[in-house]
Amino acid sequence: MLNTNEFQNSIQKTKEEAFREIDQENRLEGLEQIRVKYLGRKGIITSLLKNLKDFPEEDRPALGQLSNQLKKQVEEVLLQRAEKLKEIQLTLKKGRWFLDYTLPGRKGWVGKLHPVTQVNERIIQIFYGMGFEVAKGPDIETDYYNFSSLNFPQDHPARDMQDTFYINDDILLRTHTSPVQVRVFEKTEPPVRIIAPGRCYRNEAINSRSYCTFHQVEGFYVDTDVTFADLKGVLTAFVWEMFGKDVKLRFRASFFPFTEPSAEVDISCILCSGKGCSVCKHTGWLEILGAGMIDPAVFDAVGYDSEKFTGYAFGMGVERIAMLKYGINDIRLFYENDLRFLRQFQL
């Protein structure tokens, strides 16, 4: 027979074990088994109550109070846990999540490169295969490299074409990767055949077609006897590699301060095959990049002999190429980090 101290210790031990089992149980059926174990006709707490008759009459009230308190506490905890499990089941049901332990386990997600990164690397790969080397420059530039050295005088109206993030009067976030062109020219004698991928920044209104930051790939080639025909051949090869040989190109006269003559390059719409649709505004053409022959003023700024050397340059927005390739109509999707969107794309 238990003495008073042993009986009290037994009550405390039973309480701790019951609470632990209830807290760890995740099934309503399991809670019912715990209830029977402790509160059933032959349960542990029921047996403790039956043993009260073996104690002296003067001890029974205090021990009975402890036993009844234990019984009440276990009942309350069982009820709270049952309500919690019912709430979880209801939430899962509303969310159409059903647990089926017979189903095979799900594999973990395998990481993929961002679609802009994938397209950027594909562009680099294509031009690298045509003999271009890769060069990079700083995101934070001086006014000289970003504008002046590229034939943008202080009062030149072309500066208005590029809304700029200025840090101070002379330091800014580059608006294009063309400054890399000048930095390479300063350190390298022709022939020079370079592509310069990187991030650019412009203080533009954010909408479905423009963003305050974007990626660009600049390309340029300088040597003796470089012609516009060479430029057309390189860009045609690029378009065919990126979009397929069924795609057509056209060159439209345009203006850029650092190239003369200058052109914008269009491709036949890859969605309607040039027949005309809402994406190409029923013209059958989509603009993809700007290009031209490097202006002699740029050669003069870096000490190249403009009578001896000629060269071409081109620049394209990586996001725009990705939008055309994948049929995406909103550039903002690239920057919202929605995994449902990002997991769809793989070259």
Q: Tell whether 288 and 144 lie within a shared domain.
A: yes
Q: Tell whether 40 and 166 lie within a shared domain.
A: no
Q: Tell whether 87 and 186 lie within a shared domain.
A: no
Higher local confidence (pLDDT), 153 or 171: 171
| Domains of the chain: total | 2
Q: Tell whether 50 and 84 lie within a shared domain.
A: yes
Query: Is there a domain that residue 280 lies in?
Result: yes
Which domain CATH number covers 284? Answer: 3.30.930.10
Which tens digit of pLDDT belongs to each residue from 43-69?
A: 888 888 887 777 777 877 887 888 888
- Cβ-count burial of 336 within 10 angstroms (0-12 exposed, 13-18 middle, 19+ buried)? exposed
Q: Tell whether 54 and 150 lie within a shared domain.
A: no
| pTM of the predicted structure, to 2 decimals | 0.66
Q: What is residue 2's predicted lDDT score, i.e. its pLDDT? A: 60
Q: Tell whether 119 and 82 lie within a shared domain.
A: no
Among the residue ranges 76-80, 98-102, 278-282, the one predicted with the least confidence is 98-102
State which of 94, 125, 159 marks the end of a domain. Answer: 94
Cβ density class 264-285: b for 16+ within 10 Å, e for less:
bbbbbbbeeebeeeeebeeebb
Residues 118, 347 contacting (CB under 8 angstroms): yes
Query: Is there a domain that residue 108 lies in?
Result: no
Closest C-alpha to 218, from 264, 179, 254, 257: 179
Query: Is there a domain that residue 312 lies in?
Result: yes
Which tens digit of pLDDT belongs to each residue from 230-280?
A: 999 999 999 999 998 988 899 999 998 889 999 999 988 877 777 777 667
Among the residue ranges 21-25, 36-40, 152-156, 191-195, the one predicted with the least confidence is 152-156
Distance CA 116, CA 335 (A): 10
Q: Tell whether 238 and 168 lie within a shared domain.
A: yes
Is the pLDDT reported for residue 97 higher than 60? no
Q: Tell whether 137 and 207 lie within a shared domain.
A: yes
Query: Is there a domain that residue 99 lies in?
Result: no
Q: Tell whether 128 and 231 lie within a shared domain.
A: yes
Query: Is there a domain that residue 154 lies in?
Result: yes
Distance CA 251, CA 312 (A): 14
Q: Tell whether 193 and 285 lie within a shared domain.
A: yes
Structural domain span for residue 25: 4-94
Query: Is there a domain that residue 101 lies in?
Result: no
Query: Is there a domain that residue 105 lies in?
Result: no
Q: Tell whether 69 and 177 lie within a shared domain.
A: no
Q: Tell whether 34 and 119 lie within a shared domain.
A: no
Query: Is there a domain that residue 284 lies in?
Result: yes
